[in-house]
Chains A and B, each alone.
Chain A
């Protein structure tokens, strides 16, 4: 008989393990594809075009875009992985097993969000290693960089989880990553410093939350960024807290999960 009383660690581990196994099964889509895409960015923007662009803030253009590309991949992959992770059981009907199991919100989140975040950390590590083949970058604050990557991965895994519960079809599942996240990331200073923008556009750019993520990570790499690291960390933590609040509400009310 199970000894489940207040927290089901084995249940959380089962979900986590299952999700990582799914990633391994879809190795090309989950791991190889983002690495290839990012490599292409480095080749095109870093090597081909970057060679003709002056330094930005004293950093070579190819090195300047590394943190932004990392955030670009991190957001897109984490959100997609987490949203598919919870949407697929809903779509196939196997969600019954989760809902009837002795697992609560914490176990479910540790399983799904933890797995999505782990995948993202693995992808980030691979991308950073891959980037080394194209660019000579430095990492001024490695521990903080890992911290920010983990924070962003956790926040967007939660965000993806919410999307996966909200979505009623595959099209809806991809609307936010494609039509909201990707444009915001491209406009969020991934490929440029917002200081390079005219004053009006700079002010508008500061409304884009992705600017703070990209600049937070860029500060960890080079000790320089368009906005303060404190603001970046604070806003990321706030986003994480809001996502946790929404997920807790989803489980309390059973929205789109329980009838």
Chain B
């Protein structure tokens, strides 16, 4: 698939010696939702800043839409939208004027119908004449998105878009981001909410201490690195594991009242089915079965703790 953003050897070392980005290589494909995960201070925002022009890289190259961001930055930036992590506005400006300003900055003529459509899609149209300071926290966050969408960007960065918003609004945001993807917009998302990445991302990148630890298709990653744990509550206690059960990772719980299976990767489902059949065939009855699959969060924690 065509790359929309190609980053090679991107490095940012601050004058004090802190290396925020350490030779980062990253390719983002057109039309995908790419989730960049990492703990606080991992380099996510610095990476976005370097692409968008707020951070001056000390090494490496960035190409967006095939354009060198160091040379063709005007043309490239005109096609990029940014939703920053912090709420930063001229709070005395009205909603509509603020979005119109963003569109103008990108070099586009005013388009009242376009602005109306953006504000309506974000449920801000009724507030178009209100000063931004009068908006609720959730509305202000939607306002940031409206400003970022004002110039129809092909690539949009969402830096922690749902930080500090309530569950309902977070779901609204997810729907909105999904809608953008359907329209063909490429989305790069950083988030603390791993479930957000799990819900929406096509691919996931994990960054820590300025280094990319992993970039992979989300489903492949979860299938490859995800684990499955199944606990059978036994009707009759077992004193020992039956010796003739297939060579699975099994253990007995306290007083032999439960049997625990642990598997990982793509084979886990098949192994579990095989185990259930084996137990039934051997007359080992169970009264309950509790299955737990690891989440992207478990995988993320594991990756970061073990340094990839």
Contact = CB atoms under 8 A, between A and B. Distances in A.
11 contacts: A2-B107, A3-B107, A4-B106, A8-B105, A13-B104, A18-B90, A22-B92, A93-B87, A96-B52, A102-B106, A259-B49
B147 interface: yes
Given A5-B75, A102-B76, 16 more contacts: A1-B152, A10-B104, A10-B109, A15-B105, A25-B92, A92-B88, A92-B89, A92-B91, A98-B105, A101-B105, A102-B73, A102-B74, A102-B107, A104-B74, A259-B54, A259-B56
Given A1-B78, A2-B79, A259-B14, A96 B54 contact: yes
Interface size class on chain A is 35 or more
A96 B75 contact: no
Contacts of B104: 10-11, 13-14, 17
A94 B90 contact: yes
A2 B78 contact: yes
Interface of B: 14, 49, 52-56, 73-80, 82, 84, 86-93, 97, 100-109, 147, 151-152
A99 B52 contact: yes
A254 B106 contact: no
A88 B79 CA distance: 26
Contacts of A94: 88-90
Contacts of A22: 90, 92
- Most A Cβ at <10 Å: residue of B75, B80, B103, B105: B105
Interface in A61-77: none
A14 B101 contact: yes
A26 to B, nearest CB: 8
The 4 closest A-B pairs by CB, nearest first: A93-B88, A14-B104, A2-B78, A4-B107
Contacts of A1: 78-79, 152
A177 B223 CA distance: 64
A2 B108 contact: yes
A142 interface: no
A100 interface: yes
Contacts of A240: none
A79 B79 CA distance: 35
A4 B74 contact: yes
A241 to B, nearest CB: 26
Given A2-B106, A2-B151, A101-B106, A96 B88 contact: yes
Nearest to A103: B105
Contact of A93 (B75, B84, B106): B84
A258 B14 CA distance: 11
Contacts of B103: 14
Contacts of A103: 105
A95 interface: yes
Contacts of B76: 102
A247 B109 CA distance: 28
A123 B207 CA distance: 53
A33 interface: no
B107 A97 contact: no
A21 interface: yes
Nearest to B72: A5
Contacts of B54: 96, 99-100, 258-259
A97 B147 contact: yes
A8 B107 contact: yes
A252 to B, nearest CB: 10
A259 B18 CA distance: 12
A145 B92 CA distance: 36
A8 B14 CA distance: 31
A145 B77 CA distance: 41
